[in-house]
């Protein structure tokens, strides 16, 4: 491709909105332009890189036995009502109406649509297992779109869904996807950590995130150098060294009593700084209570009180049992809850605004319906924020943990029967019994992956593409295009590369050499061939973008060498 003919309007100035390197270089190298907040268009160079990443993903998905499909972006609300997510997904969902007032959304994710397809098409165990995927545009009205395509409101996701007859087979499908993900991110040249994660609004059990190590990452990775434990911040169940509270709360502000009754504990918690409740770790009657809560604070307070009540009554809580499961009622906010050794854990999902709800512990007969917070009681508990900090105990081996920042590029998890139950996606097993299909789901942010590659592969001048996803492999730079010898030799090489099926870009623009070299560094094509003064002797310069070394080389050897 010729730079003179292609739309590659590189920028000289630093765009004001770019806070991080990948955003800066994607704008400067003319890969993307902003259309509106969190909405980007892709120019030729950006589009080529997108296609390369998609191609790697396709190859690895196909290799793992997954089949590509394409779902619609416009999804009728009925499907989301069936799964119960229409009202709980929250403001991230773009909702719209057609001319007949029927409600739709622009798909932020596609569990419902895939489950709907499968419930209609799959009837027998003989048709399973099956894994389907698509590479498609997703829409999320992010609260804070930022960092260019890293967190945008319209983005491309590869999402895959597996359908199995039992949990053991799901483990196999999950492992296949796990391996495919490693191969994809390895091929993209990324350095990453796989961490234990929480499954968030999608629901489900085992959940792992692929985190690209980067200081600009919005996620925190808790990891242990001793035993290899790694988890994201929400999931990490690290405990402070001692439960003396010294490290949990700022010691100068709080002295924690060893509370024995809920009232004592509540009194204490009132003295804790009034901030958004996120994580509370507290010792209560010799039990360590860890409450990981997110979302609306008042509801969290209620939830917390219920947990404390349950502890007081010494209830045994089944692992992963939810209030919803226990009562069959849709409360919309209860997450898994259970005792893990001495640690009582309650995990809440993002909580929607709710007035009347169910309180109680996860035991049949321990619930009260239609409780109105405020009318029936008010629990004025305020707890401190505390995420894991360096030096906390690793939950696996007890050695001190470390923390680093990461970019979530992929997320895989076991959904189980959450969607197949809700939508009635069943199959007939060998014995003729009807059973729900066991599902898994697997996402990769395609655009975000590109941004992550740039974060890990750049210098102050620009991008340093790994060969695998570089928009072109070779760039030929004639130093002076009005010099006929240089021009002709460049054109000859350009043709030779094309004939050898090597993706080649030629900077045939009539510009100063300095400008062209700057653009070459910015664009980051892995191999640069400079055709300059020695063109007359049939000698050119070869330079890798990743190194400063310049090598003189005979024209006759160039294409062979690059191959
Ligand atoms: P995050 O925690 O960053 O908000 P998520 O957990 O909401 O991401 P998932 O629902 O797990 O995202 O979606 C699968 C993948 O899609 C993510 O791992 C990420 O790579 C990508 N992704 C999610 N949201 C965005 C976004 N707003 N812009 C670009 N990519 C995104
Ligand atoms: Mg998100
Ligand atoms: Mg996430
Ligand atoms: Mg995720």
**What's the complex ipTM?**
0.99
Report which protein residue has its CA nearest ligand 1's atom 25: 151
Q: Which residues approach ligand 1 with their CB closer than 6 A?
A: 109, 140, 142, 151-152, 155, 157, 200, 408-411, 443, 445, 447-448
- Strands of the 94-97 sheet, one edge to the other: 74-76, 103-106, 94-97
Q: Return the half-sphere exposure (C-beta side, CA atoms, 13 A cut-off) of residue 261.
A: 3
Backbone angles phi, psi at 525, to 5 degrees: -60, 130
Q: 119: CA distance to ligand 4 center in Å?
A: 25
Q: Give residue 232's pLDDT.
A: 86
Burial class (CB in 10 A: 0-12, 13-18, 19+), 158: buried
For the ranges 74-83, 243-252, 491-500, which has the lowest average pLDDT?
Answer: 243-252
Give the Cβ contact number of residue 376 at 10 Å. 12
Contacts of 18 by beta carbon, 8 Å cutoff, 6+ apart: 24, 27, 148
Q: Give residue 204's pLDDT.
A: 53
Give the Cβ contact number of residue 343 at 10 Å. 15
Q: In ligand 1, which atom is closest to the CA atom of 200?
A: 6
- Neighbouring-strand partners of residue 408: 211
User: How does pLDDT run across 216-236, given as a tens digit for each residue?
Assistant: 998 889 999 999 999 987 676
- The model carries a pTM of 0.78
Residue 319: band (very low, low, confident or very high) from pLDDT cuts 50, 70, 90 = very low
- Helix (H, G, I), strand (E, B), or coil: what is residue 105? strand
> Is the pLDDT at 365 greater than 60, yes or no?
no
Calculate mean pLDDT across residues 395-424.
Answer: 93
Residue 89: band (very low, low, confident or very high) from pLDDT cuts 50, 70, 90 = confident
In contact, 388 and 236? CB cutoff 8 Å: yes
> Is the pLDDT at 62 greater than 90, yes or no?
yes
Residue 280: band (very low, low, confident or very high) from pLDDT cuts 50, 70, 90 = very low
Q: Give residue 391's pLDDT.
A: 84
Task: Please tell me the distance from the alpha carbon of residue 326 to that of residue 275, in angstroms, as a whole number.
Answer: 31
Q: Give residue 469's pLDDT.
A: 98
Give the Cβ contact number of residue 313 at 10 Å. 10
Give the Cβ contact number of residue 10 at 10 Å. 17
What DSSP character marks residue 249? S
Task: Please tell me the distance from the alpha carbon of residue 156 to that of residue 320, in angstroms, as a whole number.
Answer: 32
- The number of residues in the chain equals 563
Task: Please tell me the distance from the alpha carbon of residue 33 to that of residue 253, in angstroms, as a whole number.
Answer: 48
Q: 478: CA distance to ligand 1 center in Å?
A: 42
């Amino acid at each position: 491709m010729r730079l003179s003919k292609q739309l590659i309007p590189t920028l000289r100035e630093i765009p004001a909105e770019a806070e991080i390197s990948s955003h800066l270089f994607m704008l400067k190298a003319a890969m993307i332009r902003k259309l509106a907040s969190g909405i980007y268009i892709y120019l030729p160079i950006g589009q080529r890189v997108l296609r390369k990443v998609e191609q790697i993903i396709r190859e690895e998905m196909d290799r793992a036995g997954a089949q590509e499909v394409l779902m619609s972006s416009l999804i009728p609300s009925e499907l989301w009502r069936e799964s119960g997510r229409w009202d709980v997904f929250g403001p991230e969902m773009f909702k719209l109406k057609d001319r007949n007032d029927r409600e739709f959304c622009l798909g932020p994710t596609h569990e419902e649509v895939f489950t709907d397809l499968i419930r209609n098409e799959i009837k027998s165990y003989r048709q399973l297992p099956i894994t389907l995927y698509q590479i498609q545009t997703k829409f999320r009205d992010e609260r804070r779109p930022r960092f260019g395509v890293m967190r945008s409101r319209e983005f491309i996701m590869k999402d895959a869904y597996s359908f199995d007859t039992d949990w053991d087979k799901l483990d196999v499908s999950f492992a296949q996807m796990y391996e495919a993900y490693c191969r994809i991110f390895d091929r993209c040249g990324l350095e990453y950590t796989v961490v234990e994660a929480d499954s968030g609004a999608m629901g489900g059990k085992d959940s792992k995130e692929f985190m690209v190590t980067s200081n600009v990452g919005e996620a925190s990775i808790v990891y242990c150098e001793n035993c290899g434990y790694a988890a994201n911040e929400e999931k990490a169940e690290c405990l402070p060294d001692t439960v003396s509270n010294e490290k949990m709360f700022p010691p100068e502000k709080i002295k924690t009593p060893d509370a024995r009754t809920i009232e004592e504990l509540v009194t204490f918690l009132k003295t804790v700084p009034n901030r958004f409740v996120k994580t509370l770790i507290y010792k209560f009657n010799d039990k360590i209570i860890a409450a990981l809560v997110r979302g609306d604070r008042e509801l969290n307070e209620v939830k917390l009180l219920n947990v404390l009540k349950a502890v007081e009554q010494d209830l045994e809580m089944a692992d992963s049992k939810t209030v919803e499961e226990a009562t069959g009622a849709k409360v919309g906010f209860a997450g898994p809850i259970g005792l893990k050794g001495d640690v009582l854990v309650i995990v809440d999902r993002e909580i929607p605004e709710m007035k009347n709800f169910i309180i109680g512990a996860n035991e049949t007969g321990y619930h009260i319906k239609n409780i109105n917070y405020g009318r029936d009681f008010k629990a004025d508990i305020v707890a401190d924020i505390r995420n894991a900090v360096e030096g906390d105990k690793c939950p696996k081996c007890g050695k001190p943990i470390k923390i680093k920042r990461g970019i979530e590029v992929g997320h895989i998890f076991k959904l189980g029967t959450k969607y197949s139950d809700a939508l009635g996606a069943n199959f007939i097993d060998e014995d003729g019994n009807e059973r729900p299909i066991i599902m898994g789901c697997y996402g990769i942010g395609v655009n975000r992956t590109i941004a992550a590659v740039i974060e890990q592969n750049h210098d102050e001048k620009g991008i340093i593409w790994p060969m695998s996803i570089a928009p072109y492999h070779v760039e030929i730079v004639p130093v002076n295009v009005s010099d006929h010898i240089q021009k002709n030799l460049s054109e000859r090489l350009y043709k030779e590369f094309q004939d050898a099926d090597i993706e080649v870009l030629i900077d045939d623009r009539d510009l100063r050499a300095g400008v062209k070299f700057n653009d070459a560094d910015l664009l980051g094509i892995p191999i640069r061939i400079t055709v300059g003064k020695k063109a007359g002797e049939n000698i050119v310069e070869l330079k890798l973008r990743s190194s400063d070394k310049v090598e003189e080389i005979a024209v006759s050897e160039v294409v062979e060498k690059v191959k």
